[in-house]
Amino acid sequence: MAKPNLALVGATGAVGTVMIDIINNRENIWGEIRLIASARSAGKKLVVHGQELTVVELTAEAFDGIDIAMFDVPDEVSVIWAPIAAARGAVAVDNSGAFRMDPEVPLVVPEVNPEQAQNRPKGIISNPNCTTLTMMAALGALHRGWTLTELVVSSYQAVSGAGVSGITRLREEIEALAGTSAGESSEDVLKTLESKGLSLDASPFAAPVAMNLIPFAGSLKEGGFSSEEMKVRDESRKILGIPELKVAVTCVRVPVLISHSLTVHATFANPLTVADVHKALEEEPTVSLLDDPANGLWPTPTLVAGLDPTFVGRVRQSLDFPNSIEMFVVGDNLRKGAALNTYEIAELVASEF
């Protein structure tokens, strides 16, 4: 059988860089691998599976001969170029939010709904938001066994969710505040940052993120909700196939470079115990259970950064809510939350060749 040809659009971006690392560390199932980016990045040299490849400019012709094209680019780029790739014969696997809620575009998590990868009338498959993905492998396993009915989530999102600019900003703020007494009184963190040339006008965040929390992530939507909160609600319903799932979400930006963390309160139609949850999650190959609070064993963002699995700890049976479980879930938002799941979808499609 001929190996399918793969394209990576956005090869030089933050997620694209992680994607290349994932490609290099997994079995090479591809024929040609083509790296695509904007005109300003075209010509750069990157090594994939030991071969030096030259990044080519994003054009319609760049998709000629490509079977699967992975997109790690902003919404406004994907909405134009993913249909062009599909029209030229490639299956477009898109990591942006451009097509996630399109009823003719499947939203796929391979551990949860792999069959949907074949249901692609537009030739496009969408990858979920990184916050949704952080908990989805674990929730999918529990939903199969006990039927999820209600979901309450609070997220603690790393600054890398805002891209390279988010990482840069946090590092700059940490450096500016180091050795000062800022943080002991109202607004002294902001004043210290401004005195060192770090005004909020140049920040991707609406408030200082170092030594702080920002109770908002994304853009403002109707009713005071953020776009991140609406994504978690709508995408969870679509992935799990529960259109009437009751969901409440609050998204918080925290001073962490990489890895999103979530507190999850999940209610099910059928009774379940902590032992049931442990057994179900231990059987999931992409979930790692770290749940021994007596010995200080639970997942944290710095422990998880750079790793592929979804990590789960602090599993508790709710004291006051029947058929409900509390747990703490952490995942690298640049890997499983973005690049890895996109790549795993591409692997699903490649198995068809």
* Distant-in-sequence, close-in-space partners of 150: CB < 8 Å, separation ≥ 6: 245, 246, 247, 266, 267, 324
Give yes or no: 143 in active site. Answer: no
d(CA 346, CA 213): 36
Contact 314, 327 (CB under 8 A): yes
* Distant-in-sequence, close-in-space partners of 311: CB < 8 Å, separation ≥ 6: 287, 288, 289, 290, 299, 303, 304, 329, 330, 331
Catalytic one among 49, 130, 251, 278?
Answer: 130
Alpha helices in the chain (DSSP H): 14-24, 75-87, 130-146, 164-177, 188-195, 227-240, 274-282, 301-304, 340-350
Catalytic one among 49, 143, 251, 260?
Answer: 260
Burial, 337: exposed, middle or buried (Cβ in 10 Å; 0-12, 13-18, 19+)? buried
What are the distances in angstroms from CA 159 to CA 41, 78, 102, 218, 255? 24, 23, 28, 12, 7
Contacts 24+ apart (CB under 8 A), 170-177: 170/209, 170/210, 170/255, 170/257, 171/257, 172/198, 173/198, 173/208, 173/209, 173/210, 174/210, 174/255, 176/210, 177/210, 177/211
Burial, 308: exposed, middle or buried (Cβ in 10 Å; 0-12, 13-18, 19+)? middle
Cross-strand bridge partners of residue 51: 48
What are the distances in angstroms from CA 334 to CA 35, 56, 64, 91? 19, 23, 28, 22
Give yes or no: 265 in active site. Answer: no
* Catalytic positions: 130, 260
